[in-house]
Structure 1
Amino acid sequence: MKKTVALATGILLLVGNMALAESDVKGALINQSEVKGAANIAIGKDNKASMGTLAVKDSAIKGAVINQSNVKGAANIAVGEGNEANMGSTTIAGSDIKGAVINQSDVKGAANIAIGKDNKANMGSTNISNSALKGAVINQSNVKGAANIAIGQGNEANMGSTNISGSDIKGAVINQSDVQGAANIAIGKDNKANMGSTNISDSALKGAVINQSAVKGAANIAIGEGNEANMGSTNISGSDVKGAVINQSDVKGAANIAIGKDNKANMGSTNISDSSVKGAVINQSDVKGAANIAIGQGNEANMGSTNISDSDIKGAVINQSKVKGAANIAIGKDNKANMGSVVIDNTNIKGAVINQSDVQGAANIAIGQGNSANMGSVVAE
């Protein structure tokens, strides 16, 4: 049974963590937290560790949902089976929100780690699943010198990212992340490591999708079976988007590596599969002195590229990428290495396809069986 929270002022203001379940809130929901030099640890089975986080589950909110967190020198760790570690994040599941969802997090020198089975580690991220939202989704995260690690089976490590699955969003989705000197690692089976990325799956969106990320001196690594490593990228699958899709990423001196079976390494790229997009698809990426490597079987390494497969696009497809002094390598079986390229497969596009790429002093290598290496190219299959 849902609990009703009626507010005369229209604002529910909290300091610290906020967890709301099976509730009906008529007004804005705001969490303002400042955490300094603190450790938040959950060890055992089915535990959750939350620091500077706003979590909403199976609830109805008629108003904005805002999480403003300032986390400094803090460790947020969940160790065991089915654990979650959330730091400076907003998590919404199975809810109906009529208002904007805004996550503003400033995380410095912090470690956010989930070790075990079916764990998730979220730092400076917005995660929405199986929900309906009428309003913009904005994730503004500033992550410096932080490690976000998920080790085990079926883990996810999200840092400065927006992740939407199975949801209906009527409003723009904007991810603005500044990640510096940070490591985002997922090691195990079926893991995902997302840094400064926007990931949308099985959702309907009426509004623009914009990913604006600045990633400097950061490592984003996924090691294991079926892993993905996404850095400064926009990834859309099985979704219906009515609005422009824009990926604007600035990646410098960063390593984005996926090692194992069926892995993908995406850096400063836009990847769309099994989706319908009514609007322009624009990838504007500036990649300098970075390494993007996928090693194993069936891997892909995409840097400053736009990749569209099995989709219907009604609008222009524009890839404007600037790649300098970077290495894009795919080694193994059935691998692909795409740098500053547009790759279209089994897709219907009603609009111009434009690739404007500036590639200088860069290496794009594919070694193995059935591999492709595309640099500054347009490939239609």
Structure 2
Amino acid sequence: MQARLLLEDGTLFTGLAFGAEGQSTGEVVFNTGITGYQEVLSDPSYCGQIVTMTYPLIGNYGITRDDFEAVRPYIHGFVVRRHEPVPSNWRGEYSLDRLLKEYGITGISDIDTRMLTRKLRNFGTMKGLLTTGSERIEELQERLGVAQLLHDQVARTSTKNIFSAPGNKERVVLIDFGAKSGIVKELSKRGCDVIVVPHDTTADQIRRLNPDGIQLSNGPGDPKDVPYAVETVKQLIGEFPIFGICLGHQLFALASGADTTRLKFGHRGGNHPVKELATNRCYITSQNHGYTVLEDSIAGTDLEVTHINNNDGSIEGLKHKKHPVFTVQYHPEAAPGPHDSSYLFDQFLDMIRDHKKNNPLKPLQTRLQETLKGELQYAQK
């Protein structure tokens, strides 16, 4: 079956369809990873996007249950040079084609993904329409012209209910803005008592959970689409140790008075070099984001830049000058990608322990709860 990908500048790619039949629109982006297409497909940060893989052979090792980063994929389309319908891998349980069919996602193969990637690099990410239908090109252009990109991706991908991954060490509340499961795995690996809460959980509700630290997750879209999250982060700064990843990094910046902007074509892949300014050491990182913190907006805030991107000089890490908060734009949990930066989770736990050591008083929310309990007992007498 034929499939077509139409870009908003009028460029039309015609190839072969795989996955589900249908039509969808979204922001067309590219990922430079050589492996890890399953983790890319199931990363909630791709919600609303049509993802192009620059590596030419996709599907060759199939799909494995243990490698999902979310309960389901949220992408709006998948673009590859060559789709392998018959995978070969001892861990593989079924094919990429079956996964896309199961979740109604259309794929297109046998197009020049190198040309498509060069176009996105030169002109920036574009709105696109992917279809297996036979409509006239004029009709597709009209549909694409009126199509609107999503602005509610965080609400679509975040958990709807609080859940926990119990542990016997520090309690970490993970605010889920579209979190990858790798974050929970890294915290659980270190014995943390992880409580995952929805994106719109208030600061007061988080205080009632009596956390030792707060983890701000990754997530899709523009950080300015979730102003309530910025306000929540602003209220938590200074009260708890905080570690932010990707969207969480951008929300921390906004909450601290800095600003964000959209990148021309984003950073997506598992081979992005990042320099840690304190040591001059370079880490190879996994990244997936279309927005960045503006360097000029840091002046006049209590923020300090800790990491920069070695390719374009954009900000990749921040810390607060007064409070125990640090964030990174990249993914220390990898999945897919290198594990160079997993030490950041250890750094987060060290920060929590130092904070508790230097602040032996019970947390404010505990003292308030005890006061309220005492008043209630007195009233009952």
Q: Give 1 or 2: higher helix fraction.
A: 2
TM norm. shorter chain > 0.5: no
Task: Pick 1 or 2: higher relative contact order, CA cutoff 8 A, min separation 6.
Answer: 2
> Which structure's residues are more often strand, by fraction?
1
TM range (shorter): under 0.3
